[in-house]
Amino acid sequence: MNKIDFRSDTVSWPTPEMREAMATAAVGDDVYGDDPTVNELEALAAEMTGKEAALFVSSGTQGNLISMMVHAGRGHEAIIGEDAHVFKYEAGGMAVLGSVVPKPVPTDDMGRMDIAAVRGAIRPDDPHFPQSRLICAENSSGGNYGAAIPLDYLADLRDVADEFGLRFHLDGARVFNATTALGIDVSEMMAYVDSASICLSKGLCAPVGSVIVGDEEFIYHGRRLRKMLGGGMRQAGMIAAAGIIALRDMSQRLQVDHDNAQRMAQGLAEIPYVSIDPHKVQTNMVFFTVSDEAPLSTAEITERLRDEYNILIGGYRMNGFRAVIHYWITAKEVDQLLNALRELLSEK
Ligand SMILES: *Cc1c(COP(=O)(O)O)cnc(C)c1O
């Protein structure tokens, strides 16, 4: 029996339609530029985002790394939220492989850096300092309730970038969750940034891959870096075929996931010992905590959900949980989790 898996949207499997498209995809050698399915995916990504060009990459981490390495080089500094994925969860690749110095800036509970702090982080021209070159933002914010950050924040960062001649990269791993929650087209958000990385493999259900988007020159340099980093794939149309369905179709259905997340939040708010603010649930992530007075600890709850209810859920910080909704989690599975928690937390 398959587990009911709330740990992340990365656990989502490809849909039957994706498997069919993958099995029948036209392919070629993509390092030679010969794979028609990869080319179609890249054209679609560029068109949907309103950018000049796109590049299919093996993961979101690789997409962010390539983007940072195009924009910044040895001894350049990137201003970045201190809980941003690129800073915390990418093994320090920007510094290790890109020689880019991270300049982490505190973030609020939506994952936003304070604009004055961003300005303050920009270095004067002085040989003591690395050279400021890049600003990175993340939307939606995976570490902060999956918050969908409104455009005015990106506009403010764009202004700072323009004023100081910096580049601006968006980690848009879940950008369609953000734009769905904000009720805008993805191209409206992309207009503020020089480049973005978009995961096909999370809530969009593709088995592998991300795309990065930007202008022709950005993608030209990105293509060489992708090869250098070992991401030049050959008959990659096999997986790009699923990516086309992810971008074209799966990006349009995320409101269903957000509604199910809201259903979970409302349900959790009724369960004793659980603390949650349903207003913070804007996309597909539900963060909640269980108080110390509860009959079970966070670790015990996680274990018993797994062993007795076949439910997997992620922990977050001290006594917190993160549940992530995706295509394969429907209202039925949400209710199963709510019922299980209700049972466990009413034990004496
Ligand atoms: C998942 C994720 C990434 C990295 O994607 P991988 O495909 O797992 O390498 C980057 N940024 C954010 C915000 C993510 O959630």
Let me know the angle formed at the C-alpha of 92 by 86 and 97, rounded to the nearest 5 degrees.
Answer: 110
- Using a 6 Å cutoff on CB, does residue 178 contact ligand 1? no
- Using a 6 Å cutoff on CB, does residue 61 contact ligand 1? yes
- Using a 6 Å cutoff on CB, does residue 49 contact ligand 1? no
By alpha-carbon position, which residue is closest to atom 3 of ligand 1? 60
Taking the centre of ligand 1 as the mean of its atom positions, its distance from the CA of residue 232, in whole angstroms, is 19
By alpha-carbon position, which residue is closest to atom 10 of ligand 1? 60
- Using a 6 Å cutoff on CB, does residue 200 contact ligand 1? no
Q: How many CB atoms lie within 10 A of CB 183?
A: 8
CA gap 122, 139 in Å, rounded: 22
Helix (H, G, I), strand (E, B) or coil at 224: helix
The closest of 224, 186, 185, 212 to 86, measured between CA atoms, is 212
CA gap 119, 56 in Å, rounded: 33
Concatenated DSSP letters of 20-81: HHHHH-----GGGT--HHHHHHHHHHHHHHT-SEEEEES-HHHHHHHHHHHH--TTEEEEEE
Candidates 7, 57, 85, 324: which one to mutate for ligand 1, based on the most atoms within 8 Å of Cβ?
85
- Using a 6 Å cutoff on CB, does residue 93 contact ligand 1? no
- Using a 6 Å cutoff on CB, does residue 201 contact ligand 1? yes
Helix (H, G, I), strand (E, B) or coil at 185: coil
Taking the centre of ligand 1 as the mean of its atom positions, its distance from the CA of residue 199, in whole angstroms, is 7
- Using a 6 Å cutoff on CB, does residue 171 contact ligand 1? yes
Residue 315 in this model has a pLDDT that exceeds 80: yes
- Using a 6 Å cutoff on CB, does residue 138 contact ligand 1? yes
Between the CA of residue 10 and those of 90, 147, 187, 332, what are the distances in Å? 15, 17, 24, 20
Report domain extents, the chain: 14-251, 253-345
Q: How many CB atoms lie within 10 A of CB 208?
A: 17
Taking the centre of ligand 1 as the mean of its atom positions, its distance from the CA of residue 85, in whole angstroms, is 7
Q: What pTM was estimated for this model as a whole?
A: 0.97
CA gap 284, 261 in Å, rounded: 5
Residue 316 in this model has a pLDDT that exceeds 90: no
Residue 1 in this model has a pLDDT that exceeds 70: no
In the structure, what pLDDT confidence band is assigned to residue 330 with cuts at 50, 70 and 90? very high
- Using a 6 Å cutoff on CB, does residue 132 contact ligand 1? no
16 Cβ neighbours under 8 A, 6+ residues apart: none
- Does domain 253-345 bear CATH number 3.90.1150.10? yes
Q: What is the mean pLDDT of the chain?
A: 97
Taking the centre of ligand 1 as the mean of its atom positions, its distance from the CA of residue 273, in whole angstroms, is 32
By alpha-carbon position, which residue is closest to atom 8 of ligand 1? 60
Q: Based on the number of CB atoms within 10 Å of its own CB, is 155 exposed (0-12), middle (13-18) or buried (19 or more)? A: exposed
Residue 200 in this model has a pLDDT that exceeds 70: yes
For the stretch 35-73, pLDDT in tens is: 999 999 999 999 999 999 999 999 999 999 999 999 999
CA gap 269, 310 in Å, rounded: 23
Candidates 56, 88, 89: which one to mutate for ligand 1, based on the most atoms within 8 Å of Cβ?
89
Taking the centre of ligand 1 as the mean of its atom positions, its distance from the CA of residue 90, in whole angstroms, is 8
Residue 318 in this model has a pLDDT that exceeds 80: no
Strand 311-312 and strand 101-105: the pairing is unpaired
- CATH assignment, 14-251: 3.40.640.10
For the stretch 114-166, pLDDT in tens is: 999 999 999 999 999 999 999 999 999 998 999 999 999 999 999 999 999 99
CA gap 118, 17 in Å, rounded: 44
- Using a 6 Å cutoff on CB, does residue 59 contact ligand 1? yes
In the structure, what pLDDT confidence band is assigned to residue 319 with cuts at 50, 70 and 90? confident
Residue 348 in this model has a pLDDT that exceeds 80: no
Taking the centre of ligand 1 as the mean of its atom positions, its distance from the CA of residue 175, in whole angstroms, is 11
CA gap 135, 161 in Å, rounded: 7
Taking the centre of ligand 1 as the mean of its atom positions, its distance from the CA of residue 57, in whole angstroms, is 12
Instruction: Spell out a b/e string for 122-152, using b for 16 or more CB atoms within 10 Å of the CB, else e.
Output: bbeeeeeebebbbbbbbbbbbbbbbbbbbbe
